[in-house]
Structure 1
Amino acid sequence: MKRVITISGLHGTGKTSVANRIAEEFGLRIVSVGSLFRSLAKERGLTLEQFSRVAEHDASIDRILDDRLKQEAEKGDVVLDGQLAAWMAGDAADFRVLLTAPPDIRHRRISDRDGIGFEQAKSQTTTREKSERARYHKLYGIKIEDQSVYDLVLNTGKYDLEGVIVVVVGAIRAYFVSERASA
């Protein structure tokens, strides 16, 4: 069986940290859209905020990233880490996780991760997410706040990373056990 697990959520919810641990736990490859996006921005000498504004007018950027997600989902045996991972993986996805967290917690995590001030993290993240929300709706008709495609929605602001991993791994294991039982 070629397993495909998606980990989605807004910036600072812990997508990449959780996706890395899930990939390790289940022996799967990992593909991170956030890492790809950051690499593209860096290659062009732009901040994430600047690159998000460029992407508002250049749909090819999102299409490149989203096509890569689709290709990786088709290959299987992968954890896909990205805001639209569940949507882009489509029927290839076995289990879709959405991570959430209150804005202040997300902004603090981004501030710590990127080594920038809280207010700068808040401003950049707010601008970037507004841009992404508009782009995703325009390009795909996706409303990022729609949680209907997810199998598990978890507020990571309530747990430390280990607690999040326990919940997510447990839910994925339970899913695969019940899937085998019904096959």
Structure 2
Amino acid sequence: MVTADNSPTGIDSTLFITVSGPPGCGATTLCERLSEEMNCPVVSGGDIFRDLAEDRDMSLNQLTAKADESDEIDRALDQRLQQIAEKWGMANKPFILESRLAGWLAGERADLRIWLDAPEDVRLERIADRGETEAEMRVREVSEAGRYRSYYEIDIDDREFDDLQINTARWSKNAVFTLVRTAIEEYEPELDEGSFSIPSVDP
């Protein structure tokens, strides 16, 4: 759809899209814009983590500490995300799932897997207002990578399965959205010969 001033608005699509990336990559910004333009729900791992904390009557810091003690919290989070992916994968409606493991957890149900990243110094500047230090961010990333490898034999740095990888520091927020929008609108399932098989993940 194009408005009178020739600027496009809305995205007509039924794609199930996953968005992943490290802290400060711009995933939240992109997902919010996509959700608005596609008129569809977006669920993030952060949302589910907050739900888990509420279910257990714990603060986010308390739940984070518990997650470091055992695999219970991580697996509960991943199970919920996988259940959501299964539900929306059968709905034939547009949907966005955002988490570090979204592309893996959605498996073959996802139509388009997007990985966002940016240089570390850029990401640090972006998350400065969250109160997370450089050391904390690095520890978290290393810790998560180790847990994913231990739980699921997943190498989080393996980008083979991602359909679109974007360094969000090289373009404006609007330009990043435009790149993704183009990929969505130009996608034709009947011409798709490039999808990689995703190993199953069992949280």
TM normalised by structure 1 equals 0.85
Q: Distance in 2 between matches of 1:157 and 1:99?
A: 10
Alignment of 1:28-39 (within 5 A): 28-38=40-50
What residue in structure 1 maps to residue 59 of structure 2? 45
State whether residues 52 and 77 of structure 2, in contact with CA within 8 Å, keep that contact through their aligned partners in structure 1. Answer: no
SS in structure 2 at match of 1:97: strand
Which stretch shows the higher mean deviation, 56-65 or 80-89? 56-65
Task: Report the counterpart of residue 179 of structure 1 in structure 2.
Answer: 189
The 2-side partners of 1:35 and 1:121 are apart by 22
Residue equivalent to 2:109: 92
> Cα distance, 1:2 vs. partner?
5.4
Q: Quick check: 2:48–2:80 contact (8 Å CA) kept in 1?
A: no
Tell me which of 124, 129, 142 is aligned to 2:154. 142
| Residue type at the aligned position of 1:65 | L
Identity %: 39
Deviation at 1:41, TM superposition (A): 5.6
Q: What is the CA–CA distance in structure 2 between the aligned matches of 1:138 and 1:13, rounded to whole Å?
A: 24
Structure 1: distance between partners of 2:60 and 2:109: 33
Superposed CA RMSD: 2.1
Q: CA deviation at 1:44?
A: 2.4
Q: 2:7 corresponds to which residue?
A: none
Q: Which whole-Å CA distance do the structure 2 matches of 1:127 and 1:38 have between them?
A: 21
Matches within 5 A, 1:73-112: 73-76=85-88, 77-112=94-129
Quick check: 2:22–2:117 contact (8 Å CA) kept in 1?
yes
The whole-number CA distance in structure 2 between the counterparts of 1:54 and 1:134 is 16
TM-score normalised to structure 2 length: 0.77
Offset of residue 40 of structure 1: 4.5
Mapped partners of 1:3, 1:163: distance in 2 = 20
Aligned residues: 173
> Greater helix percent: which structure?
1
Gaps of 5+ in 2: 1-12, 89-93, 193-203
Moved over 6 A (4+): none
Q: How far, CA to CA, are the matches of 1:51 and 1:145 in structure 2?
A: 26
Structure index of larger Rg? 2
Aligned equivalent of 2:75, options 45, 63, 67: 63
